[in-house]
Amino acid sequence: MTIKDTPEEWQVAATATPFRGNKTSVRTDDVVMPDGTIARRDYQVHPGSVAVLALDDAGRVVVLRQYRHPVRHRLWEIPAGLLDVPGENPLHAAQRELYEEAHVKAEDWRVLVDVFTTPGGCDEAVRIFLARDLSEAEGERFEVSEEEADMELARVPLDELVRGALAGDLHNNCLAVGAMSATAVLAGDGFDSLRPAEAPWPARPFEA
């Protein structure tokens, strides 16, 4: 048996959007179940995101520490951001986020892993890239604001991030999934086995 997620869409008898925010909204769908009954499902509609596991030649990952109000925590994370423009190339968005949040550029980009963050309550899809051959970006640093104005930056060994996630000390999903995925690839077929940076992404189609 092939273990693979497959697209499927059940009939929606009615839909409404009771809340629209700046970047996301909440949708209510009346979904027809297999037995013909109707179940109401409320979920967040999200534009999608990208994240970057930037790994330097010393095996350290570029991480940042940022306050996240919904969970009332200051979390260690990898650079990430929204796909602000519909149809935006996710690689370009990832390169932008790495520059804006860490003032770093990378020469080698691969798709590390694609995930749905919370599929029971949100349609957010995230593409996590692996970025290598790092260097300082040219020009002035991007001017940040709000929570990002208080960010801390660091470079942490990959294995330390994995240990921290397994110990319950690190909680950001992109950091944990990215670090564990990179570790698995290193123990397996190596980074050259990863998909190219422009690999198709059915969850968020884009123009190359």
| CA dist list (Å): 26 to 8, 39, 82, 123, 147 | 21, 16, 17, 10, 23
Q: Quote the CA–CA distance of 191 and 188 in Å, as a whole number.
A: 9
Written as six digits, the tokens of 167 are: 């110990």
Q: Is 148 one of the catalytic residues?
A: yes
**Which member of 88, 143, 148, 198 is catalytic?**
148
Question: Cβ(106)–Cβ(131) under 8 Å?
Answer: yes
Range 21-39 burial, b when 16+ CB lie within 10 A, else e = eeebebbebebeeeeeeee
Q: Is 90 helix (H, G, I), strand (E, B) or coil?
A: helix
Q: Is 15 helix (H, G, I), strand (E, B) or coil?
A: strand
Q: Quote the CA–CA distance of 164 and 138 in Å, as a whole number.
A: 32
Written as six digits, the tokens of 193 are: 């086995």
Active site residues: 148
